[in-house]
Structure 1
Amino acid sequence: MAAPLALLLGISLALAPPLAQARSLRFVTLLYRHGDRSPVRAYPRDPHQESAWPQGFGQLTQVGMLQQWDLGQSLRKRYHGFLNASYNRQELLKFPLSPCPRYEQLQNETRQSAEYINKTRQNLQTHRLLLPPWVTPDVMTQLKQLKDFGFEFLFGIHQQMEKARLQGGVLLAQIRKNMTSAANASAPQHLKLLAYSAHDTTLVALQMALNVYNGRQAPYASCHIFELYQDDDSNFSVEMFFHNESGREPFPLTLPGCAQRCPLPDFLQLTDPIIPQDWARECQVASNVQDTELIVALAVCGSILFLLIILLLTVVFRIQSQPPGYRHVSNEGEEQP
């Protein structure tokens, strides 16, 4: 009895469908804001000048250092088993943007928008440093609202899609490229996690481009997370999270038009409109390009007209200066011999 039972068991196992491969994390991109820091400058009558800050202007405070430490601990816990227990320079990694005249023109146009004008017409510290008497809770609330509005001014209000292509779309293009490379790799790659250290403006620019911005300034040490997974059907999907509070799990972000677990092809298709194809050309101010072309066209037409006038005057001068000579006269009426 034991032999037939073993045979049946073997046949059953052979005919059973293969076990599905478990879903696995393949690649991570992080964009995080620095921690709390001292002001970059002081207003003229500020009682707390640079000497009041131990590390000087624009440097992390002890609070900021702790915030960065907490973020690191949170990420270490989240990616335990995915990254090495000790630091590996091949598994970890900043991003500049050159001046963009077209984006600056869009900013000037935004200043002329009704929303911006109305807001500015309505609105003409911590670390154990005493605040001036005029800094009331109402003033602080108003300043915070203006700060949040400042991000809307930078990346929204007017021509948000074009601003996204010129700002957050540039970073997103690189993030997409890295994820696509990781998905197309035939063998597991050494680079597992890419981290960009940035400012609140960088975070907001990216989230405005993705249309997931919540309208508030990104907190210190907050972090936008992209995770690329290989699903059990061997396809790839993207999940986004936002870590904005120490001690709590990052909350999920959903790209409009897709599920929170967004298939990679859908993610790429939905974000295509905000990816610049030729950033340097798109940054050119259209009016300047048109003016240059007009000037060149006028110069060419003017040169041709000048040459035609010279040619005409030359012909007329030659005709007028030609000496009188023999001219044929009709012989009608002459007597025949």
Structure 2
Amino acid sequence: MLLKIGIHRFVHKIKSILFNEICGLRFSDEQQQEPCHLIIWRHGDRAPLEKPYPGDLNDESKWARGWGQLTNDGMRQMEELGQFLRERYAAAKFLPKHFDRKEIIIRSTDVDRALESAQSLLSGMFPPQSDGDRFDPALNWVPIAIHATREANHDSLLNPSGFPCARYKHLRQIVADEISAHLLDKYRPLVDFVRPHLNISKEKPIKMVQLVALRHIKPEIIHNLPQPKWVHKKWGEFGNKTTIELIMEIRQKSWLPYFNGNEEIIRLNGGVLLNDLLLRLNFVSQGNAKKLDASKMVLYSSHDSTLLGLLSALNVKVPSNALDLPPYSACAMIELYEERQNARGNKNYFVKLFYQRNRILEPMAIAGCETKCDLINFLQILEPRSIRGGEEELKILCNEKESNSAARRMGNIPAINHGTQSTVINGR
């Protein structure tokens, strides 16, 4: 068993080294230090959240751990991501040999699949380094604390779309009504075709939420569960795509505006997390890293909605498809670098962003900046989209009936470059 684990890790290490060398993404000598990296991912492969349609024979008994739970494939995906991160940052001598709670903290939503994804990732990122590290010689694993400080539906940091926010729900409904009417009309032949499978009579309108519930067929297909022929029916009028491909297409088109529909939606959804990230980068650049709950690295285990909200708030323009639905184990990396400008040791800080999806790592660029973005410019561009008052400001914004009035009232909050510290950063 231990031999099998060793071979698996060796093969992955070779792949990671070759990948980084080929892509030119290894760290160069001129990048003297890497004071802080922030990493956020979507959980691994999971079971469907619910039964896709009434007549589906693939009920919950087909899933070993139940609806919405992480699968073995999901655990392996996350372990592999952890191995990739270890190789990436260990090669630059950024990661310590052993996990150090003063340097690294792991945050997660209080949702099983996110917590277990973090556990799986950590098993690959921080395996025991010697027999002395193992509390059980048969396990190639050491326990590491994962922090989930809020119940999932009140987590403004990592589950903002589930946070009780009347203003966001109002804006989301406006967007939903408009886009749903358009899509239901555009895909009318498909909508009429799936109606009997949804057990909805002709007299009743089909709601978008009912139609996109069929997306839960996709995990069944991934796990080779049998499907009726109608799921794979091809539609000539829609580019010869299958029923399930069209459902996933509709899901993408109907869901994205919930995150980037307008500036207010973007800020309400991604502003708290963006603020947390910007504050951390700013603190570290000012030499205040030791005042944070982790001085070098924060790992965030979250969901597709969290990642989409953040990428929208970052206003990522490269790659152009960055706002596609994040696949399982998709991972965004915000990396802060410090380089010396001259012999006197004057320092300059810059930020690099990367996005890993489906085992492909790509550099990202935000609007108004290159892939290597000066930190001051980075902060100035993104601060207007952050919620500088954290959850307290969010609560005020959420109760507003009109946009921006709450933001004007919060004008006495210091700007981010003043070194303001949010309550999110303080506690473990």
TM-score interval, smaller chain: 0.7 to 0.9
Is residue 68 of structure 1 aligned with residue 81 of structure 2?
no
Which letter maps to 1:70? E
2:238 corresponds in structure 1 to none
Asked if 2 retains the 8 angstrom alpha-carbon contact of 1:148 and 1:215, the reply is no
1:237 corresponds in structure 2 to 350
Alignment match of 1:118 (pick from 164, 168, 182)? 182
Asked if 1 retains the 8 angstrom alpha-carbon contact of 2:37 and 2:297, the reply is yes
Asked if 2 retains the 8 angstrom alpha-carbon contact of 1:105 and 1:285, the reply is no
Cα distance, 1:280–1:266 mapped onto 2, change above 3 Å: same
Distance of 2:331 and 2:283 partners within structure 1: 23
Q: Any idea what SS the aligned residue of 1:231 has?
A: strand
1:81-92 aligned at under 5 Å gives the runs 81-90=93-102, 91-92=104-105
Is residue 30 of structure 1 aligned with residue 39 of structure 2?
yes
Is residue 185 of structure 1 aligned with residue 290 of structure 2?
no
Distance of 1:50 and 1:187 partners within structure 2: 46
Is residue 106 of structure 1 aligned with residue 166 of structure 2?
no
CA deviation string 1:183-203 (max 9, x = no partner):
112677862110100011111
Alignment match of 1:205 (pick from 286, 309, 316)? 309
Distance of 1:287 and 1:227 partners within structure 2: 36
CA deviation string 1:115-166 (max 9, x = no partner):
4421122233221210122111611210111121133231133xx2101110
1:1-337 aligned at under 5 Å gives the runs 23-42=32-51, 43-80=53-90, 81-90=93-102, 91-93=104-106, 94=108, 96-97=155-156, 98-113=163-178, 115-123=179-187, 124=191, 125-136=221-232, 138-157=242-261, 160-185=262-287, 191-212=295-316, 214-233=322-341, 234-246=347-359, 248=360, 250-277=361-388, 278-286=393-401
Cα distance, 1:187–1:142 mapped onto 2, change above 3 Å: closer
Asked if 2 retains the 8 angstrom alpha-carbon contact of 1:116 and 1:153, the reply is no
| Higher mean displacement: 268-277 or 210-219 | 210-219
CA displacement at 1:57 relative to structure 2: 1.3
Cα distance, 1:279–1:69 mapped onto 2, change above 3 Å: same
Distance of 2:355 and 2:58 partners within structure 1: 34
Q: Any idea what SS the aligned residue of 1:235 has?
A: strand
Q: Any idea what SS the aligned residue of 1:243 has?
A: strand
Q: Any idea what SS the aligned residue of 1:36 has?
A: coil
| Higher mean displacement: 256-265 or 270-279 | 270-279
What 5-or-longer segments of structure 1 have no aligned partner?
Answer: 1-19, 291-337
Q: Any idea what SS the aligned residue of 2:222 has?
A: coil
Largest Rg, 1 or 2: 1
Distance of 1:196 and 1:168 partners within structure 2: 14
CA displacement at 1:259 relative to structure 2: 1.4
CA displacement at 1:89 relative to structure 2: 2.5
- TM-score normalised per structure 2: 0.58
Asked if 2 retains the 8 angstrom alpha-carbon contact of 1:151 and 1:201, the reply is no
Distance of 2:36 and 2:170 partners within structure 1: 37
Distance of 1:187 and 1:36 partners within structure 2: 34
CA displacement at 1:276 relative to structure 2: 2.5
Distance of 2:46 and 2:180 partners within structure 1: 29
CA deviation string 1:40-84 (max 9, x = no partner):
111322211111111111111121111111101110001102111
Distance of 1:286 and 1:244 partners within structure 2: 38
Which letter maps to 2:278? R
Distance of 1:187 and 1:57 partners within structure 2: 41
- TM-score normalised per structure 1: 0.73
Cα distance, 1:287–1:179 mapped onto 2, change above 3 Å: closer
Number of positions where the alignment pairs a residue of Structure 1 with one of Structure 2: 265
Of all paired residues, the percent bearing the same amino acid is: 31
2:423 corresponds in structure 1 to none
Distance of 1:65 and 1:34 partners within structure 2: 9
What 5-or-longer segments of structure 2 have no aligned partner?
Answer: 1-28, 110-154, 157-162, 192-220, 233-240, 342-346, 406-428
